[in-house]
Chain A
Amino acid sequence: MPSRAKGGAANGVGPTPSSSLKITVNGLPIDRPCPPERILLDLLREDLELTGTKRGCDLGTCGCCTVLVDGRPTLSCLTLARLVDRRSITTIEGVTPVHGLSALQRAFVEHGATQCGFCTPGFLVTATALLQERPSPTRAEIIDAISGNLCRCTGYTKIIEAIEAAAREGR
């Protein structure tokens, strides 16, 4: 296949000059050198070992890699790390309370909204942002919000139910 080299390996052949990247990840300030072609997903998964964010397609089609950039759902596989310089990143690890689960996470568990679980972090951060912006979304607003996330197991039914249940609980 036409090979599609993914952005920036840590010790790639022919090193590219690294500039400094200052970001906040899950509330912690990070200041580190970062090659200009480094993709945000690689930075999170490979460099920072935040493996909760999943790599599903590398093309922005599946939504598994969704993280929040200043609170907005963003496809980390299509985002150059340097473009989020000085901004705040929240991953699935960042929406998880230190102890226990968030109301949304609890609802996902209780409603069976996870099956294989690979798409779940993407749905969860997306839905977390939705509920922050609209605490009582309509069903249509929920569907609209998660329409960039693919799930092959659940048929989305129980994901939508879980988001509705968490919204009810939040009211």
Chain B
Amino acid sequence: MSTTDLARALGDLQEDEVVAGVGERIAAGDDPTAILADVQRGMEIVGKRFEDGEYYLSELLYAADIFKQVNEPLAEKLASRETEKLATMVLGTVKNDIHEFGKDIVATILRSNGVEVVDLGMDVDYEAFVAAVREHHPQFVGMSCLLTTVFDDMKNTIAALEDAGLRDGLQIYIGGGPVDESLVEYVGADLYCRTAQDAVVAIKRHLGVN
């Protein structure tokens, strides 16, 4: 399967075609980095269609799941090499909130767009965010919640990062059901992302990547 065919097939959510196409190219001895790049081009088509209102979360998740499936054999081939990642994000649902679903979507979508995600899970203590930022040196931190009662926990997490001297140079993105633009200032974040794709776009824009 040619470069454009593979990207197009993923863009069109043709699961069987994508899986078979990647399999054929691995069998033919194609460079796994090149195959991965084509698959990522397919994810870009999906992202573009999402932004244009043609695709929705239902398609974004399906594409990411197809990506995950074909990425496994590629990742094995690439394991011995240093793969290029776009950026790292430390991500979690804030303390006192156990709603993981939105956060999991963000992790899935970011990973399929080349972002390494350090997923801290849910009900994440302030100190756990601090420790993860210290350990992984991410450019981005993502925080999610579904409860209005934990807005202060989001605020306190960011304050804890500040107190630890880690806030400078860090982009903090927030999202979740009750979150909106107005919360950015209240909690001291940098950006509100309404969708997972918003986070992809914001990360690329921040890094100056097309």
A and B together in one complex: no
Q: B residues near A, CB below 8 A?
A: none
Q: A residues near B, CB below 8 A?
A: none
